[in-house]
Structure 1
Amino acid sequence: MTGILKQAHSVFGQAVPTEAELLQRARDMIPMLRERAASVERNRMVSAETIATFKAAGFFKILQPARCGGWEMNPAVFYKVLMELGRGCGSSGWNMMILGIHQWEFGSMDPRAGQDVWGEDDGLIVASSYPPFGKLVEVDGGYRISGTWKTSSGCDHSHWAFLGAMRKDAEGRMIDRMAMLVPRSEYEIVDDWHVFGLAGTGSKSLVVKDAFVPAHRAHSLIDYQMSDRAAHYLYPFNQVFFGAVSALIVGLAQGGIDEYIEQMKVRTDTTGGMPAALSPYVKDRLGNAVVHVRSARARLLQMMVETTELVEQRQLVPTHDRVHHMLDIARVGRDCEEAVMLLFKATSARGIYLDNALQRILRDVIAAANHITQNSDDTAGLLGGYLLGQKLPPMVFARDAI
């Protein structure tokens, strides 16, 4: 536990806020985010002003390596910040999650990649689209990529982007899953983000015609081995990235709970005029929603406690634990979706009006729970098969089946 709570007083002479200070900054933003949430959805993107507010609070530096001007903190700190921001505006919190998680990747990459991005300005923002939509060809000194990558959240605020691609051998067999870092000059943003949930995330498509990616700007999303990287970068990629998505979803669901409490404290029954808060069903739904969300939050943070103990002793997280953690993470979407649906059903006809924030929160949670990281069906089967002695599939925990 001490590894998560203890933070350095400075990084290269730069004052580093405590976890408590960062969380308070996030909580202080909740009213502002709630006020802007409807306009964020209408505009289909988060405003530059909100991103600047996140930047001023230091949220983009939480996971950024110290050598790149960041604070090199434990990912659990970032998770907790997301859990607060999600209470205010799902789309804004989602942008902070996606645009802020990439800094962690640089901690295990060739240092030249961080220098390329932050050598002159350590506040530049990196977007992404990890699904291997594009084409990758190996060439001398690196790779050439082309194609269209969907759902790049917050890309309008980005200066660089990580793009996913499958690396194949001479016979066309997949041998690795890669992330390729490309500058803004190499991709075009296509505004095709017209969706019913998380509509304000601006998750548009990126088009690359033919870009060269030097080898030092590429890394494997699958390869998980020991190196001399700092302890907080020894976690598996899937744990850190997938867990961040789940952390934001916890925040979304907590925002639904907040909204429900506010509405039910003042609402009256239209048939008898009694306070809605006296209804046993109103109270029961609230209690069950709370335990769903608290359980999801506890799983995520317990996972971080357990793995922090390992990485701070410079040990990799064992495959056995990683398989369990994958379901711990993926189940969050379903738990939080069920929690908000419990609450929404108690709002009756009032809940369906577009000026009722709870319907937007429900749509956002449903959309977030559809993210690939929240696929608890396949992940449950993967864990079950593993415990029954079956091999794990390739390109998930290792390049080959294990």
Structure 2
Amino acid sequence: MQPAVLERTNIQIPTSDELVARAAAMVPGLRDRADEIEKARQVPNDVVQMFKDAGFFRILQPKAFGGWEMNPIVFMRVLGELGRGCCASAWIMMILGVHNWEFGLMEARAGEDVWGEDDETIIASSYPPVGDITKVEGGWRIKGRWPTSSGSDHGKWAFIGALEKNEKGIPVDRHALLVKREDYEIIDDWFTFGLSGTGSKSLLIKDAFVPDHRAHSMIDYKLDDRPVNYLFPFAMVFYSSVSSVIIGFAQGAIDVFIEQMQVRVDNGSGAATRLSPYVKDRLANAVAKVRACRARMEHMMAHCTAIVERRELVSNDDRIHYMLDMARIGRECEEAALTIYKCTGARGVYSSNPIQRYLRDTLVAANHITQDADNNAGALGGYLLSGELPPMLYEKPKLV
């Protein structure tokens, strides 16, 4: 089967395998720069440009704006490879790249505003609903301070999360609002023990206007005439993108562990460490966890792709099960990384050993709200017992 040809740019759209191969080829170079990027506390422009040149930002971008409009699983596979190299670089590729999918949910005018002159423009974000929005004629007024905007130095726009409340102060919807760079200030407050290189700084908005066409509901999931690859639930695409990059982190730790253990010799006995049943057992169990995580993600996307290709919505029953499946990936990948880390002994504590950085970055990534296995387990258990869904995530609240 011949690859599709993008009429607007007359460029052949690569296959999923080709894109994954491009990501895999970057892994050694990214790994070599991971320490530099961590110390700089941000991913440099040339790495972002490398990702642009490889086409990674076009994977989810609508065709109307020069993208390739591919199934999100392609993006997730690419992230799983990049995560093996430099966790911070892969993380901001995930955050900045997944925003391009979001434009498939919005009016075309939003994409025209951002990509009308430059279809490589990057969008940052901060989705925690911690600020204030007020409905006004033609749009919204927004103000507040939003934390953890990964890769914010590279963005010329930002999606901002906020709750819409009724006259009684009760939340009735959760919105993402697209704000121009000149409307927010970047506050450098990202000082962390892991994922330091992501530059996940805060965004301060003193007062900005966002027109209606640059805002959308993050929870109002409904069927319309959008292209099929934008019919997945918002949370499913965003949560599983985070999960996919964490799979890459854990796999990167496994890669380094294998390299080190193949040549390491026990200081006391002089025996090859690779012969230790303890080392073999921990390695195999870590691999099994990561493979299981990857398989769950692939299964979810294959199942849900079949649903949306029939132009049907993914049911709440499927969604709440899959949300826990994706949230558990963070937990299981941190377990995998810690399992093999315990075999490294004193060698593993030195900052010169990359395996400690993979562990730290995995631990921090697994603390992301999308990886909250506890609350998602409680939500699924409650749903199975009573049929109730947690509010403000699967559907808009039904107010009496």
Calculate the TM-score normalised by the size of structure 1.
0.97
**Cα distance between partner residues in 1 of 2:391 and 2:351:** 44
Identity value in percent: 57
Q: Does 1:333 align with 2:330?
A: yes
* 1:230 and 2:230 matched: no
SS of residue paired to 2:344:
helix
Runs of 4+ in 1 over 2 A off after TM superposition: 5-14
1:249 aligns with 2:246: yes
Q: How many angstroms does 1:390 deviate by?
A: 3.7
- After superposition, the Cα gap between the structure-2 partners of 1:372 and 1:7, relative to the gap in structure 1 and judged at 3 Å, is farther
- 1:161 is aligned, of 144, 158, 162, to 158
Deviation (angstroms), 1:394: 1.5
Deviations 1:2-46 (A, max 9, x none): xxx996343544321111111111011001100100000000000
Q: Which residue of the partner structure matches residue 10 of structure 1? A: 6
**Counterpart among 117, 120, 134 of residue 117 in structure 2:** 120
> Distance between the aligned counterparts of 2:200 and 2:398, measured in 1?
33
Aligned equivalents of 2:398, 2:241: Cα separation in 1:
26
* 1:131-151, Cα deviation, whole Å (9 max, x unpaired): 011110110000000110000
Output one character per residue of 1:40-84: Cα deviation in whole Å (capped at 9) or x when no partner. 000000010100000000000000000111000000000000000
Counterpart position of 1:93: 90
TM-score, normalised on structure 2?
Answer: 0.98
1:25 has 2:22 as partner? yes
Partners in 2 of 1:231 and 1:205 — Cα distance? 34
Residue 213 of structure 1 pairs with residue 207 of structure 2: no
Deviation string for 1:192-225 (max 9, x for gaps)? 0100010100000000110000000000000000
Deviation of 1:401 after TM superposition, in Å, equals: 6.3
C-alpha separation in 2, matches of 1:215 and 1:226: 20
Q: SS state of the match for residue 163, structure 2?
A: strand
RMSD over aligned CA atoms reads 1.2
Q: Is the 8 A contact 1:391 1:401 kept in 2?
A: no
2:4 aligned partner, one-letter code = A
Does structure 2 retain, via aligned residues, the 8 Å contact 1:133–1:148? yes
User: What is the aligned residue count?
Assistant: 398
Contact 1:177 1:220 in 2 (8 A): yes
* Residue among 176, 180, 185 paired with 1:183: 180
User: Structure 1: how far apart are the matches of 2:178 and 2:98?
Assistant: 14
Find out whether 1:152 has 2:149 as its counterpart.
yes
Structure 2: gaps spanning 5 or more residues: none
Q: Which amino acid aligns with 1:123?
A: E
CA pair 45-30 structure 1, distance change in 2 beyond 3 A = same
**1:391, 1:336 → 2: CA distance?**
29
Which residue among 364, 375, 394 is the counterpart of 1:397?
A: 394
Per the alignment, residue 55 of structure 2 pairs with 58
Shift of 1:173: 1.1
Which residue of structure 2 lines up, in the alignment, with residue 80 of structure 1? 77
Give 1:125 deviation, angstroms. Answer: 0.1
Residues 1:194 and 2:188 are matched in the alignment: no
2:351 aligns with 354
